Amino acid sequence: MFPGRECRAYKHTDPKEKFLSFCTTNTYSLLLRVLKVLIGHFNILLYIIFKTKNTDVLYFYSPNIKTTIFTLFLAKRLGRQTVVDIVELFQSEKNTWYNRLGDKWAFKYATYPFAISESLIRLGSAYTNTKIVRLPIIVDFKRFDRSIRTQLKLIGYIGTSAAKDGLDVVLRGFALALRSDPTLKLRLIGPKPIHFDYDKLIHQLDLYENVELTGSKSYEEVPSLLLDCDTYIMNRDDSDFSKYGYPTKLGEYFACKRPVLMSNGVGFSLDYTDKVEAIKYEVENPSSLADAIAWRYDNNEESQMIAKNGYDYALTHFASEVVGAKFWDIVQEFGKDVKG
Which residues have C-beta within 8 Å of that of residue 265, sequence separation ≥ 6?
236, 237, 238, 242, 243, 283, 284
Give the residue among 241, 267, 236 at the shortest CA–CA distance from 92.
241
**Is it true that 57-138+319-340 and 143-317 share their CATH fold?**
yes
The residue ranges of every structural domain in the chain are 1-51, 57-138+319-340, 143-317
pLDDT at 340: 44
pLDDT at position 13: 60
From the centroid of its chain, how far is CA 150? 24
DSSP code string of 168-193: HHHHHHHHHHHHH-TT-EEEEEBSPP
0.75 exceeded by pTM: yes
pLDDT of residue 172: 97
d(CA 142, CA 163): 31
143-317 architecture in CATH? 3-Layer(aba) Sandwich (3.40)
The pLDDT, as a whole number, for residue 6 is 61
Q: CATH 3.40.309.10: does it fit domain 57-138+319-340? A: no
Which phi and psi angles does 301 have, rounded to 5°? Answer: -65, -45
DSSP result, 126-151: TT-SSPPEE----B-GGG--TTSPPP
Helix (H) or strand (E) holding 12: helix 7-13
Q: What's residue 56's pLDDT?
A: 81
Task: Render each residue's pLDDT in the chain as its tens digit; 340 residues.
Answer: 877 666 655 555 666 778 888 887 666 688 888 898 999 999 999 999 999 988 888 999 999 999 999 999 999 999 999 999 999 999 988 889 999 999 999 999 999 999 999 999 999 999 999 999 999 999 999 999 767 788 999 999 998 777 888 999 999 999 999 999 999 999 999 999 888 999 999 999 999 999 999 998 888 899 999 999 999 999 999 888 888 889 999 999 999 999 999 999 888 999 999 999 999 999 999 999 999 999 999 999 999 999 999 999 999 999 999 999 988 888 787 666 554 4
Distance CA 242, CA 298 (A): 30
Where in the chain does DSSP place strands (E)? 58-61, 82-86, 112-115, 133-134, 154-158, 185-189, 211-213, 231-234, 260-263, 279-281
